[in-house]
Structure 1
């Protein structure tokens, strides 16, 4: 058969495209990228023309480049396929725990190691020792992790694993007594052999509302490894005021008045503090003065009682200031008595008439006595030297 006739005959009967198979995405750290010969077949042609753009062995830019390859048989049937070349020179990012992992269990699983990449959505990473390994007690073990992306870029990180099987030590506040049902306290303190900031918590928590009477509070400290310790203290809510009993009303014939401390009792405080105003031993004026005595327990609850002090004593009234006569005390009128004068046996003033005057302003003191010192009333006036 003539060659031209044969070619025409083949073109008329060969309508099947060749089959071409491209590789999957190629990742490369270097920019010169080559790939193996592509697999192609045809129903008749055993020597197909194959071309790729860009060519294998070319220099590729950073990032992704689409490569298209075409196979053509002798009669012009053609088929194409495509694949990507990704030039990636950026190492993946891998993050390890910032602080040592503490565990009370020797078998430690860590899920906080993460790896990300600018191209590879799931870079491979491995750790030595691996997650789930058995770690020695009481020692710090270094773990090294390595991340690799599809282009072969690598990065590493490391962290420590501490097997801590020692409980922390927690110390609670002292027992508390409060006059308010809302009770706050300073957080318990905790120490640990590894953990420098042990978590603590109390049930009920500080700031809770407590019922009247006694309640228990339990506090727990937990270290990073999960070891824990507890302590307890009590809260006593005391809303009951103390009881205080004042003395009967007092009538006094002299200004200075004393009395025994009023007795006081309390449901929780064995020794409530009692104060009186005016206080025992004060100097009282004539007439009736109310005294208020207040009992305060150790949480600040207060209760008061009152009684009267009747100042039934003499009142001595002196004459007004006078001028001296020839540098001597003049003849002055005696002071006048009022009030309860029945007990007064003597009224005396010093200096007396005709005594010499010392200085420009000399004081004359007059006192009323009830049989013997001290005086029960007094007054004073001045002798002035012009």
Structure 2
């Protein structure tokens, strides 16, 4: 393996047996840009991007002009974890840029994503927001204090499915056990539905490196993990333990409600000593679906029970032979989980409708644009 490929693999570049990228579309893009070299987006800011081509080699780059247009779909712009091709800015031995002009280095292509986590952006109009790209595992971080909320975990699981493995990480296990000996077993029991979906659940003390070692199976060389969770869940503390240093700012939660403050202000990709990469994200208060989610995939237990209802169009309210109501009354189905299933189903359906309308509007705009160009060409001739 060349030093260049070794450095790329240290920040998550996947390699096939021949030492090249196993993604065919990536090879095609590299062949189309012979003068370009791959780099990974490690920070995204309003003014541009910071990319890296090795664990200790990062620099700023310019984006393509079309990405800066106001109406350009935000989810199609590069985000943290994306792989891009860059040109310009000669690199000296050791990876330090010899050209001090950031504008000399430009992104010329965005490599297709192997996986991505997105959410619906806040606002009336339909938009998507990219949380992280090209990730292998999602650590859904939830504190075993007032932050613990099985319904919110279900919402996160709805967003992260598709190309990445979810792992539920319950932090503050030491505080939970000290306050109530039944708190930890009770919290794990509340997530019993996850076991049926083969979703791993790990309870850790985020301040204890030995406890955090329970996450090592998902932190192997070349793997990328993203941390998601609400403010105060312990993501930054967990990141510091994995790094072995206090690199990320942390803040105590409020005693009144155990809510935290935003200590992480932007997404950042950080290489770990294990060879894995970690993406820390700011706490997210709003988790809107994009309309591309599969509710049935996350609520297979509910779907299986509903399939046993006497009527196919059962509303699970007053119909005779309703298996869902029978399961709730028998204590086999958590009524709050079922209510969340209905709520998320409605939200996904609404978002899917908005997504379909946006795609139809974009298609119509393209047709109108082509028609206008044709009329101009017919009137003035082609240039």
- Please give the TM-score of this superposition, normalised by the length of structure 2: 0.18
Which of the pair has the greater relative contact order for Cα pairs under 8 Å at 6+ separation?
Answer: 2
- Please give the TM-score of this superposition, normalised by the length of structure 1: 0.18
| Structure with greater strand percent | 1
